[in-house]
Structure 1
Amino acid sequence: MEARDNTVLELRGEILGTINQQSSIEEVFQNRTLRPILKLQNDLFVQVFINYAVKQKNVFFSLNPEKKLAYIENVIQRDIKFRNSLKGMVIAFFTLEEYAEYIQNSSNLNKRMMNMLIERLKNQIQLIDITP
């Protein structure tokens, strides 16, 4: 399993964000693990969201900009199956050690993960806004 962990860490690249002695365990996990994974998987997240929006009868594409932002947040917060799919796309890039750390505090880490993903998608609304 060491080979897999090394490959995963190599794919993800460097730590994103600041880690110092005052950083909480969750903040360290966020910057060491979650941010690099979200960056690595970014293009896939955008395509997955576009596919989701299309399968929901293209409603998203007819909304005004403010409602599009609310739609992104609402869908990720309320559609459990979709949210779990997104979580799986992140967890798949955990090392075994990170997974052990994650399961100790999964509730708070899931909140951080989804909030960062929501913000990431909102910041890329131009890419999502292309009607398929």
Structure 2
Amino acid sequence: MPAPPEFVLETGLYALDLDAAETFYGDVLGLDVLFREEGRHVFFRCGIGTVLVFNPKTTRVGETLPAHGTEGEGHVAFAVETDQLMAWRRHFSAHDIAVEHTERWGDGKRSMYVRDPAGNSVELATPTLWGTATRGDRLRQARPSLDLRTSESSPVEQFQNETLRPVLKLLNPTILRLVAARLVRYGVGFANMDRTDQRDRLRNLLKEDGRLKQTLLGMVVGHLTDDELTVYLDHREEVRRRCVPMLLARAQDQIDTIAEWTET
């Protein structure tokens, strides 16, 4: 059996009035619109997932994709920190949206329910309501998936491949920006160097600039789960010895991007 799904990628709702749906999910809830097709759908980004709102009159007619649609009210739950629920209540009141129900689930977990313009039940709930949205879960969900076989590796090699590589790939734009900013601070004219000098300059930077190195390593550690942090602390020196060359290789492989940022 393949590995079980890691998180809900899409949540589908139905509404005949897509303009009203866009106002509610975009303006009231603050979700960014990803795509819109007039008369058919409007899609929204929500964290690492998407909320898809379809006009069922159109999507019940399947052509290139399977037909789908529903009658009656659907349901969607959004993760919201518990201490923000009162602020959301005031926000809904300012938009004349009635809070239909609130629920206390125990252990400090709560939910608040409203209706969207199509009558769908919209819940704002404590992220850990189902015990599936811990900090570690969210950190892992945000990382890119890499196809690496590590079952026969040592613990540190497993950590390098299963944790460090995905984390560094996730943080890639930030790493490059920080390196570029440091080069600009030194005023070395990085963009005008030839490729060999650029590679040498990056090597020296990551070797000699302790502040930059600590910043980059700290950023990586901040993206570790509790279990991963334990591995890091147990093998700190070896992990750091492996991480710095990985950071250097990533920077040297993307010299053109760094050079562009040193000119802006």
Q: Do both proteins adopt the same fold according to a TM-score greater than 0.5, normalized to the shorter chain?
A: yes
| 1:92-121 Cα shifts (integer Å, max 9, x gaps) | 110011111101111110111111110011
- Note the C-alpha offset of 1:50: 1.0
> Is this contact kept in 1: 2:144–2:169, CA < 8 A?
no
> Could you tell me which amino acid in structure 2 is paired with residue 101 of structure 1?
V
Structure (1/2) with the larger helix percentage: 1
**Maintained 8 Å contact 1:34/1:113:** yes
Verify: 1:29 aligned to 2:177, yes or no.
no
Written as runs of structure 1 = structure 2, the 5 A alignment for 1:31-46 is 31-46=161-176
Query: CA separation in 2, counterparts of 1:122 and 1:68?
Result: 8
Distance 1:77 1:46 in 2: 16
Give the match's secondary structure for 2:134. Answer: helix
Q: How far off is 1:53 after superposition?
A: 0.7
CA contact (8 A) 1:16 1:32 kept: no
Unaligned 5+ runs, structure 1: none
The residue that corresponds to 1:67 in the other structure is: 197
Counterpart in the other structure of 1:4: 135
Of Structure 1 and Structure 2, the greater strand share is in: 2
2:262 maps to 1:110: no
- Relative to the length of structure 1, the TM-score reads 0.91
Q: Distance in 2 between matches of 1:18 and 1:126?
A: 31
Instruction: Write the deviation string for residues 27-55 of structure 1: whole angstroms up to 9, x where unpaired.
Output: 10001100000000001111111111111
Q: How many residues align?
A: 131
CA distance in structure 2 between the partners assigned to 1:75 and 1:20 by the alignment: 35
* Superposition misfits of 4+ residues, deviation over 6 angstroms: none
> How far did residue 73 of structure 1 move?
1.2
TM-score, with structure 2 as normaliser: 0.47
Q: Percent identity?
A: 26
Tell which has more relative contact order, 1 or 2 (C-alpha 8 A, sep 6+): 1
CA distance in 2 between partners of 1:124 and 1:29 (Å): 24
Provide the rounded CA distance (Å) in 1 between the counterparts of 2:249 and 2:145. 21
1:94 pairs with 214, 224, 243, which one? 224
Change (3 A) 1:85 1:54: same
